[in-house]
Amino acid sequence: MGSTYLANLKIEIELPRRGISTQVIQNDEHVRITAFGFAAGEEIETHSSPLAAMLYFLEGEADVQLDREICSVEAGSFINVEPFMLHGMAAKSPVRMVRVQVKAH
């Protein structure tokens, strides 16, 4: 996949009435960028991944679990999730978020 240009990432992310929407924006040998839209009340159960992840919140409010800590996030919040760190999320309102995962070489 080559270069990607989106004039306004926020409006590109579907905000579902129920459930969670995902859209892969970029996926190559170096990085995977995924956009997420969460309906209010949706959750991602606590889990871990071998890849580090950077989470950037474009809209909404959520509680994000990082190991044993709960962080309240809102539009503009940024989180760096280390490899194998337990993490999960509960959307308190509709949420638009971007996750960037850098692939190991």
Q: What was the pLDDT predicted at 105?
A: 62
Report how far apart, in Å, the C-alpha atoms of 94 and of each of 14, 41, 54, 63 are: 11, 8, 20, 12
What pTM, to 2 d.p., does this model score? 0.91
Give the whole-angstrom CA distance, residue 45 versus residue 42: 10
Position 101 pLDDT exceeds 90: yes
- Which whole number is the average pLDDT over 57-81? 97
DSSP symbol at 101: E
Chain-wide mean pLDDT for the chain? 93
Position 2 pLDDT exceeds 70: no
Q: What was the pLDDT predicted at 37?
A: 97
Percent of the chain past pLDDT 90, that is, above it, reads 81
In order of their start, the domains of the chain are 14-102 (2.60.120.10)
